[in-house]
Amino acid sequence: MKHRILRAAGITLTSLLLALLFYVPLEAREDSASLVFQMTADPGKTTVYVVQKGDTLAGILRKQRGEQKKRIPYDLIRRLNPEIKDLNRIYPGQRIVLPVRETPRLSESPSDDRKKSDIPPTVYKHKGQESAPAAEPSSPAAPPPESALPEKTVKTPPSVEHVLGLIRPVVGRMNGTLIAKGNYFIPLKEATQITIDCSLIPVVELDEGTTFLLDFGNRLSEEIKALIGRSWPNYLFVHREELGDGLTGLRGIIRRSRNYEMREVTEPLVLLTTPEIRVFPDWTITKKAMAGAPYRLGLFLIGNNETPLPGEVRAFLEKNGLIATEISGNRAVTGPSISRAMPMTADLTGLKGIALAERLLQTLGETAVTGTELVLFDQARDGFNLSITADLLLRREGKRFVIHAKRLPEQFIRILKEGGAEVVQIGEGASGKPLIAELLQALRIPVSFGRFSFRIPEDGERPRLTATFPAIRVTPGGEPLHLFDFDMSPEVQAFLNGLIGGRIAKYLTAS
């Protein structure tokens, strides 16, 4: 009956190399095993014996064994009583924990085991051996032969899979592993192992060396957990009450990890300062101590009708130190990658006077002609000829604009105006914001100055990302152009080009 209960719980404690012998004195050191048995044991069934005067451990075990023909292995006594350093020396009044076990049973045939077992055939071995345990086990016990494994695969219950749908992608992005099917073998000492059915008790392995058993059904007894913990202190247990939904379960895992911590975000994270790019995750997962660049993962909880971040945005966030994972319901969602050619960022850096004016107009899509000769006085009309060469001549909205660097006499300006041209005079050494503002206003091109913000999503109560920067905004009739006067990496420029729905240009003032 005990065997059936323990199998139904998905946990099998396999003891190998037990001798079919009567009592052997302690001095024999348990080295005369001659037969191998497949047996079950219930570590939860124990009894406490108080040592009496004249007792020896061998005598106590002989009385405990009673009519059984198979002795109780001393290694099991050691594990149940770690505080007793030497089993050869016991004293009156000591309390010794002794197991109460079923008689070992040989399977009638491999087919009988196949019919009764619900454990799927996939095999996983734990990673705990990579960490130094408190009590180093011997080499891992070999998994059961394939012929004794079942032919069908047990599916993870829907309620469990619902929680794992969130935990799995997050753990994966933390370079960890979630195992939710097959067998997971935990080796103990003396060729003993515990086999976990991962469809019932999934296993999470983090890159820090910590392993978590997600006990959705609270199937693991305190005795079994203690047995695992004595050999593998890096094994931790998350109970049904701590798992709840996916987010709660994830918090239960992170809370018990050695190097990770998970926090609810109350203030936005500043990813860059110029331009100021802020992100608004609901939770962050960080590493407590880590050499080099800090590890930071952001969890964004989005509604069922919200669109995930485009792939380019996620890639940008990751390159700048934030791994973005969006959660809808109890599952991670991923937005599509938008393959589109980003417009080139115009570079007006270092330009002055007419050169800056000409490049700015080209950026705005305006065509200005250089070196145009304009007649001011005609010999037939005025008795002499006089003309000037305009630095730039722009025709826009039915008007002619003469853009000139050198100062013209007022008489010349009056004659040009009488001929239907407007004169825009800019200094030869003018540059930066003053020249841009003066030129655009004279050409009647809408322009504004200030700090401009953009967000994802564009509407809704709460953004997931915002970008804010000071700029000159020009709206010549088509898509807007934002001119900025600070250094920005090409990667950030490309990101802003895709975000603001227009174009950007830099105009760093010439020195």
pLDDT in tens, 396-444: 888 999 999 988 999 999 999 998 999 999 988 888 999 999 999 999 9
Complete DSSP assignment for 376-399? EE-HHHHSS-EEEEEEEEEEETTE
| The pLDDT value given to residue 273 | 93
User: What 3-state DSSP class applies to 61?
Assistant: helix
| The pLDDT value given to residue 339 | 60
185, containing H or E segment? strand 183-187
The residue to which tokens 């005369």 are assigned: 32
| The pLDDT value given to residue 117 | 39
Backbone angles phi, psi at 297, to 5 degrees: -115, 130
| The pLDDT value given to residue 292 | 63
| The pLDDT value given to residue 511 | 53
DSSP strands (E only) in 40-107: 46-50, 95-99
Question: What residues contact residue 416 under an 8 Å CB cut-off, 6+ apart?
Answer: 374, 376, 402, 408, 422, 423
| The pLDDT value given to residue 326 | 92
**Cis peptide upstream of residue 457 (ω within 30 degrees of 0):** yes
Answer for the pair 129, 96: CB distance below 8 angstroms, yes or no. Answer: no
- pLDDT beneath 70, residues of the chain: 1-45, 65-71, 101-159, 190-191, 290-293, 338-344, 509-511
423, containing H or E segment? strand 421-425
DSSP state of 335: P
Beta sheet of 203-205, edge-to-edge order: 177-179, 203-205, 211-215, 235-239
Sign of CA dihedral 108, 110, 111, 113: positive
